[in-house]
Amino acid sequence: MRISDRYIARQVIVVTLYAIVVLSVVLVMGNLFKQIRPLLVEQGAPIGLVLRFVVNVVPYSLMFTIPWGFLSAVLLVFGRMSGEHEITGFRVAGISLTRLSLPVFAVGAALSGVCLWINVNVVPLATASLQELVYEQVKRDPRSLLDPGIVQSRFENQKVFVEERDGDSLNGFHLYQVSNDDDGEPVGAEAYVHAGKVSLVVDEEKKQLRLKLQDAFIETKQEGEMSEFAFAQEAEPWLFDFGSTRNRKARSGSMTNSEIRSYLRENPDLPQEKRVEFSAEITKRYTFSLACLAFACVAVPLGIKSRRKDTSSGLVLSIVIGMVYFLFTVVAEEFETDAIATLGLWGPNIVCCLLGLYLFRRARFR
């Protein structure tokens, strides 16, 4: 290994680590305040639950921050080397731009291997664990199922909204009994219940929430029939079983590749859009893993070019390229067939490689 290889590889690795740490902190803190703030602030969740949340969300953030951090590092390192004429010095010494870039591709290949292991083995387990955290908090404090100001959909075929809560009393209680389509998605309301005030009692032994409705209004609707209305000053207790509130619907993000393939084989009648969603999840894990190599193709020539023209910094370029790359993969997941979704997910990598070849060719003759 040449001295130049160690010099460039060391700089790229160090800057990549810094970028990964900064980007991961931003993503983790964003998820922390968005998803767990209500549990922490409003329900007094233990700090241990918060720490477990952070530990489980870090692998998911690395799925994005490792490629993005590597992209930023290469742009910054080669932009600085170009601005300080180090690239010119290496080329005068007889080292071509392609040879000078080999350490970058070596680091990119190593990071792609790390990403592949994280995306395939670690992220599904971490995602499944995140779903369990909320369920554990529900078991610890069943009243959290009826937090005011939040539409609760943890109950099967039911959505609940509470305007405010005063101790064990609820004011402004709304419940919608919904029907689901073949895909398990809600399509319409079959019943609506409103109560001005509700008395809340927790039955730990039976794992139930008992709600006694006061000043209740109930509307029921049957298919092809008129709605029926009922009013009651007091209504019999409404029961919620918090022992089975965990959402057991299969989610592609929390399943390993083998589990996804088994699920698809065992459910041949699964709707086409769901089959595409699950198949695309496997493809996305591989395409995201190879993003480091794809970014290396465009980052080296763009890093040099940006400093030559003395325009936007490498950080701005990395933000733009990263956003376009990841947003395009989100769009690709919405396609209706496996073939188009697969092509759409691999498309950004292919475009980066082709664009990189073109930019390398231009940079060699400058």
Q: Give, for all 366 residues of the chain, the pLDDT tens digit.
A: 578 888 899 999 999 999 999 988 888 777 666 655 555 544 555 666 677 777 888 888 888 899 999 998 998 888 888 878 888 888 888 888 888 889 999 999 999 999 999 999 998 888 887 767 666 666 666 666 666 777 776 666 777 888 887 777 888 888 887 765 545 454 555 788 888 888 877 766 666 667 788 888 888 876 656 777 888 888 766 666 655 544 456 678 888 899 898 988 888 888 888 888 888 889 989 998 999 999 998 888 888 876 544 445 556 777 788 788 878 777 776 777 888 888 888 988 998 899 888 888 887 665
- Say what the pLDDT of residue 334 is: 72
Residue (of 331, 354, 248, 322) closest to 284 by Cα position:
331
CA separation for the pair 165, 146 (Å, rounded): 9
Helix (H) or strand (E) holding 212, with range, is strand 208-220
228, two tokens: 């029926």
pTM for this prediction: 0.70
Question: What per-residue confidence (pLDDT) applies to 59?
Answer: 87
Long-range pairs for 16-20: beta carbons < 8 A, 24 or more residues apart: 16/66, 16/69, 16/70, 16/72, 16/73, 16/107, 16/111, 17/69, 18/69, 18/73, 19/65, 19/68, 19/69, 19/70, 19/72, 19/73, 20/62, 20/65, 20/66, 20/69
Q: What is the pLDDT of residue 130?
A: 73
Domain boundaries defined on the chain: 3-139+251-364, 155-244
